Structure 1
């Protein structure tokens, strides 16, 4: 069973992996992903969690095609920070996608991006990929 990850654990993961996955030093401070997250935190816990999940979904999608050396460096950074591993966060996201599949419908933009982020997973069967694509299409274009 996948352990439930708290907001704090997910934020720690995002903060620790961000510099290697999405280097942001070139951005103005107010455009930095952590500044966006801080603004969402001031709005509400729900908004902050949605923003964090979207950022992590983008991050996980980006990591699918990374070189092993970079993945080792990210794993090292996560370990030093005491953050959950990439594998644990992926498993947690997979569980969320499983709940969406069981329900048979996407209920929010956040879920849409989550499902979209797992669509290229090579471990998906053709049937699962087709089902996920159908959920995306129904959410985006209606029944």
Structure 2
């Protein structure tokens, strides 16, 4: 499961990702994702952590077709914001990536780009 320390740092990640990369619509709620999670925390930290993991998977899926240059740019911005990079989040929290690792082979183009993006983000 998600440690309390990682959860707090990921709240910064998800807020920065939302601010910089998520399209906004007239129906987009006010506030940040971490403010929403903090409301859930009052009832159940475990449920807030589950919500965080769902949000991370959405972010990973949203960026699955990004080029290595786009990932590198996001990584640099996240690092400056003092949080996990997109590459770190992809490596640690991508359900799809974990499935690929367990299976031991890539079976689609989207899986290829996910793995390539993670590999390109490693230093």
TM-score by length of 2: 0.62
After TM superposition, what 4+ stretches of structure 1 lie above 4 angstroms from structure 2? 117-121
Q: Which has the larger radius of gyration?
A: 1
Aligned residues: 102
* RMSD (CA atoms): 3.3
Trace 1:51-66 onto structure 2 (pairs within 5 A).
Answer: 51-66=51-66
- 8 A contact 1:29–1:35 mirrored in 2: no
Trace 1:1-143 onto structure 2 (pairs within 5 A).
Answer: 6-24=6-24, 26=26, 27-29=28-30, 33-93=33-93, 115=95, 117-118=96-97, 125=105
Structure 1 residue 33: deviation in Å?
3.6
SS at match of 1:13: helix
Q: Partners of 1:54 and 1:46 in 2: how far apart? A: 13
Unaligned stretches of 5+ residues in structure 1: 95-114, 128-143
User: Could you report, residue by residue, the CA deviation over 1:44-77 in whole angstroms, capped at 9, with x for unpaired residues?
Assistant: 1101101111001110111111244432332222
Residue 34 and residue 12 in structure 1: after superposition, are their counterparts in 2 closer, same or farther (change >3 A)?
closer
Q: Partners of 2:18 and 2:79 in 1: how far apart? A: 14
Unaligned stretches of 5+ residues in structure 2: 108-123
Residue 82 and residue 35 in structure 1: after superposition, are their counterparts in 2 closer, same or farther (change >3 A)?
closer
